[in-house]
Amino acid sequence: MNLIIKQAQRKFKQLEKKYGDFIFVIADDWRGWRFVYDTGDVRRCQNDCANCRLFNLLKKERPGEFTADLYRGNVRDKKFFGPQNFLNCKTLAQYGQGYVKFIKKIKNPAELREELNLVKNLKIIYARTGNKVQMEKIFKRSIFRQALKQSGGWKKEMIKTFL
């Protein structure tokens, strides 16, 4: 995982030179290692991708072991994760709520453990303001706590082990 994070940090430095509206950038193994972007463009998103500076920056990115490209969402994804056309164009709040909503729907322990590990292993690569390490801890804890409030039984007990 450390190699992937180093690749992500290098890639982000390249992107940051070309685009100055990043608010948060997260590296996550969400359907493959990729960035999740919280930017001014994402917060103002009208799904007019052709006129979006972030989309135009990333549209030629190619998938790989780690990718900065955009991952198109489907109708079901939009219900869980927010209205943007791409799964990795999300505000920090949308991204966290997506995890909470998905955890609520999980029906078996193996799937829950996998999802909780995704949260545990995500990395905030960039935060415009504040300490990104501290913000990452707070963000992960908030996902676990919100999921805990909505859970009972075996699910609640498993989530507690991640706090």
Q: What's the pLDDT tens digit per position in 14-28?
A: 999 999 999 999 999
Domain parsing of the chain, residue ranges: 2-18+25-160
Contact call for residues 99 and 143 (beta carbons, < 8 A) = yes
Q: What is the mean pLDDT of the chain?
A: 94
Contacts of 141 (CB under 8 A, 6+ apart): 163
pTM summary value: 0.92
Contact call for residues 8 and 66 (beta carbons, < 8 A) = yes
In this prediction, residues 135-152 reach a mean pLDDT of: 98
116: pLDDT strictly greater than 80: yes
1: pLDDT strictly greater than 80: no
Contact call for residues 108 and 99 (beta carbons, < 8 A) = no
* Short-list 92, 34, 41, 96, CA closest to 68: 34
d(CA 25, CA 89): 10
Sheet of strand 123-127: strand arrangement: 33-39, 22-29, 123-127
The strand ranges marked E within the chain are 22-29, 33-39, 123-127
* Short-list 43, 53, 50, 56, CA closest to 95: 43
Q: What's the pLDDT tens digit per position in 28-51?
A: 997 789 999 999 999 999 999 999
Q: What's the pLDDT tens digit per position in 74-104?
A: 988 888 888 999 999 999 999 999 999 999 9
pLDDT above 70 coverage of the chain, percent = 99
142: pLDDT strictly greater than 90: yes
In this prediction, residues 136-159 reach a mean pLDDT of: 98
Residues belonging to the chain: 163
